[in-house]
Amino acid sequence: MKVRIPATSANMGPGFDSFGLALQLYNEIEVERIEQGLVITVDGEGSEYVPLDEQNIVFQAIRYVFEKAGEEVPPLNIHIHNEVPITRGLGSSATAIVGGVLAANRLLNDRYSQQRLLTFASDLEGHPDNVSAAMLGGFVVSGQFAAGAAVLYKRFELPKEFTCVVAVPNFHLATSVSRNVLPEQVKFCDAVANIGAAGLLVAAVASGDMELLRDSMRDLIHEPYRMPLVPGMEKAVRLAREAGAFGVALSGAGPSVIAFCDENRMERIRAALFAGLAEAGTNCTTLVLKPD
């Protein structure tokens, strides 16, 4: 069987580890039973970095679901075709986890509900934001209040004119590195500001109010700490906002920067992101993507 899983942009500013947006850029994973052994092949983006043995994330996700089911993983042929850039903050590991979890469930004759599968995926990833959007598509708000607890989620459609411009720097940034710069505690007033921004952002998406989105996509609990990891990000955000973006955020743990706009402004915003990053010596490619 074949599954197609979208790239995702997590956090969207204030929704750290909770908000995820699926994008129209996909990885494909094909899994079939074979007589014996494990055969893994990969092509496309970053394929040279993907392990072809039991360390492979797709295989590990399949094995995790079989362990939960109390069954042995059968001999498998796994083929992965990647379009999503890896370690760039666009949810490439979530595609592998969700693809593996969905493939395992089909091999097990659809034993588990979507919520169970999402909980498996979130436990594997360590947070639910990317995996929720990768599994459900659209803009998803999710929460998991303890490891193993059920992931709660709500999916929203975005307005049709909503367009994403993504600047993808030409360096890798592991999520673990980007999480290590975060403080153990944040100031109470910053947490309060983020709660307000996150609530307003959901209200903006639910009501299609893009002006409210512009004002609510602000974060004080992770982006200020991560910005130094992406030279030029501060300027790129400012220029993209001045060029009319609805909002600009670090995509997931970075280093990609994502701006939201309508179709008329995407060229100006693409140029703004590129220029802001380039001024600090950060070369990037830019992608224009619609929400999945």
For the annotated binding site, the residues are 85-95
Tokens 């999710």 — which residue?
142
Measure the N-to-C terminal CA separation of the chain; round to a whole number of Å: 21
Provide the residue type at 227 as one letter: M
Nearest CB to ligand HSE, comparing residues 123 and 129: 129
In angstroms, give the least distance from the CB of 178 to ligand HSE.
Answer: 6
Please say whether the beta carbons of 120 and 69 come within 8 A: no
Nearest CB to ligand HSE, comparing residues 118 and 272: 118
In angstroms, give the least distance from the CB of 165 to ligand HSE.
Answer: 19
Alpha carbon distance 105, 182 (integer Å): 35
Alpha carbon distance 93, 125 (integer Å): 8
Nearest CB to ligand HSE, comparing residues 11 and 272: 11
Give phi and psi for 75, each to the nearest 5: -60, 135
Nearest CB to ligand HSE, comparing residues 213 and 253: 253
Please say whether the beta carbons of 26 and 42 come within 8 A: no
Binding site members for ATP: 85-95
In angstroms, give the least distance from the CB of 172 to ligand HSE.
Answer: 13
In angstroms, give the least distance from the CB of 143 to ligand HSE.
Answer: 12
In angstroms, give the least distance from the CB of 181 to ligand HSE.
Answer: 10
Say how many CA atoms lie within 13 Å of 141 toward its Cβ.
15
The 3-class SS string of 83-100 reads CCCCCCCCCHHHHHHHHH
Q: Which two tokens stand for residue 126?
A: 């360590």
Nearest CB to ligand HSE, comparing residues 181 and 192: 181
Q: Write out the residues near ligand HSE by the rule CB under 6 A.
A: 10-11, 16-17, 127, 129-130, 175, 178-179, 252-253
